[in-house]
Amino acid sequence: MDAKARRDRIKERVRIEREVGYGELAADFDVSEMTIRRDMEALETLGVVRRVVGGAIALKGKDSEPSFATRVADAAEEKRHIADAVADLIGPGETLILDSGSTALAVAQSLRGRRLGLTVLTPSVLAALELIDEHDTTVVLTGGELRPGELSLIGPAAEDTLAHYNCDTFVMGVAGIDGNRGISDYHQADSRVKRAASERADRVIVAADRSKLGRVTFTSIAALAEIHVIITDGDPAHPTLVAARAAGVDVFCVAGIDSVGEATSL
């Protein structure tokens, strides 16, 4: 395992466990403690952890959202595979609500060139720009207050717009999925838009990379039983995915992607 992959794994673990030790990580990754210390120095520079005696603690709390640029860069390849699997589930002519956020943006990019003839309703200016020139696709922005950085539309106007449409599928990006607490996100106004969208779609697809599994963030969106599909690159045996399947959610894991880009359903 190279340094980047190891640091990504450590970052995921810190997010879940909140505190990690050098010795334990060295043993788990079969490297020296000095190597782990260098990894922690790099992660501290990125603002992910703060080093303490014998290890490190998570620097960001439940209500602290990484910048949009950071989230776009984080697990970019994994998000691309997840997005391709999501796009594979969207049928020709569907009416689609496409969320804001980095994973939803990746879905918009994956939908380009598929010529599905979609009607896409979105609170994301960036997703709308990705799809505006797509053949036979109608793009509808929700309206609302433009959130800086994220370029998502929030507030009562966005929620009211969603209330006037009936859609086939809502593709939702989230900050956390937990077996007990369900789906959560950082930002209250964005979360209200997500809840409004969930109420207007026949099918809710949650797209989330493995770092989101087992995490609980500031604002609750929905219980697991209220969504229909999870697409992730996480381990199929992860407790959160086990709980999701028990709640009746269809789980697709892209770890098993083959040469034609199909995900493994579990």
Q: What is the CATH number of the domain that holds 234?
A: 3.40.50.1360
CA pair distance 122, 109, nearest whole angstrom: 14
Mean pLDDT for 64-84 is 72
Query: Environment class of residue 13 by beta-carbon count within 10 Å: exposed (0-12), middle (13-18) or buried (19+)?
Result: middle
88 in any annotated domain: yes
198 vs 68: which has the higher pLDDT: 198
- In the chain, how many domains are there? 2
63 in any annotated domain: no
Q: Are residues 177 and 226 in the same domain?
A: yes
Structure tokens at 116: 């599905």
pLDDT digits (tens, 9 = 90+) for 97-127: 999 988 999 999 999 999 999 999 999 999 9
* Contact assessment for residue 257 and residue 85, using Cβ atoms and an 8 Å cutoff: yes
Three-state SS across the chain? CCHHHHHHHHHHHHHHHCEEEHHHHHHHHCCCHHHHHHHHHHHHHCCCEEEECCEEEECCCCCCCCCHHHHHHCCHHHHHHHHHHHHHCCCCCCEEEECCCHHHHHHHHHHCCCCCCCEEEECEHHHHHHHCCCCCCEEEECCCEEECCCCEEECHHHHHHHCCCCEEEEEEECCEEECCCEEEECCHHHHHHHHHHHCCEEEEEEECCHHHECCCCCEEEECHHHCCEEEECCCCCCHHHHHHHHCCCEEEEHHHCCCCCCCEEC
Domain of 38 in residue numbering reads as 3-58
Residue 265: its pLDDT value, please?
A: 60
Q: Are residues 89 and 44 in the same domain?
A: no
94 in any annotated domain: yes
pLDDT band at 259 (very low <50, low <70, confident <90, very high): very low
pLDDT band at 190 (very low <50, low <70, confident <90, very high): very high
204 vs 71: which has the higher pLDDT: 204
Q: Are residues 258 and 161 in the same domain?
A: yes
Least confident segment among 65-69, 158-162, 200-204: 65-69
pLDDT digits (tens, 9 = 90+) for 224-256: 999 999 999 999 999 999 999 999 999 999 964
Q: Are residues 249 and 161 in the same domain?
A: yes
Q: Are residues 14 and 94 in the same domain?
A: no
73 in any annotated domain: yes
Residues above pLDDT 70, as percent of the chain = 89
Beta bridge mates, 55 = 21, 52
pLDDT digits (tens, 9 = 90+) for 6-35: 998 898 888 777 778 899 899 999 999 999
**Count of residues for the chain?**
266
Q: Are residues 226 and 246 in the same domain?
A: yes
Residue 257: its pLDDT value, please?
A: 42
CA pair distance 244, 179, nearest whole angstrom: 7
117 in any annotated domain: yes
Q: Report the alpha-carbon angle 131-133-135, nearest 5.
A: 95
Residue 41: its pLDDT value, please?
A: 87
The answer, yes or no, to whether residue 262 has pLDDT greater than 60, is no
Residue 109: its pLDDT value, please?
A: 95
Q: Are residues 91 and 155 in the same domain?
A: yes
Q: Are residues 79 and 208 in the same domain?
A: yes
Mean of per-residue pLDDT scores for the chain: 88
Residue 75: its pLDDT value, please?
A: 62
Q: Are residues 201 and 108 in the same domain?
A: yes
Q: Are residues 143 and 49 in the same domain?
A: no
Q: Are residues 76 and 193 in the same domain?
A: yes
CA pair distance 266, 137, nearest whole angstrom: 32
CATH number at residue 42: 1.10.10
Strand 201-207 and strand 167-173: the pairing is parallel
Residue 64: its pLDDT value, please?
A: 52
CA pair distance 39, 245, nearest whole angstrom: 35
255 in any annotated domain: yes
pLDDT digits (tens, 9 = 90+) for 29-66: 999 999 999 998 888 777 677 777 788 877 655 445 55
Mean pLDDT for 199-226 is 93
Residue 56: its pLDDT value, please?
A: 83
- Closest to 201 in 3D by CA, of 97, 89, 71, 109: 97
CA pair distance 204, 182, nearest whole angstrom: 14
Residue 263: its pLDDT value, please?
A: 61
pLDDT band at 200 (very low <50, low <70, confident <90, very high): very high
Residue 108: its pLDDT value, please?
A: 97
CA pair distance 36, 39, nearest whole angstrom: 5
Q: Are residues 117 and 215 in the same domain?
A: yes
pLDDT band at 258 (very low <50, low <70, confident <90, very high): very low
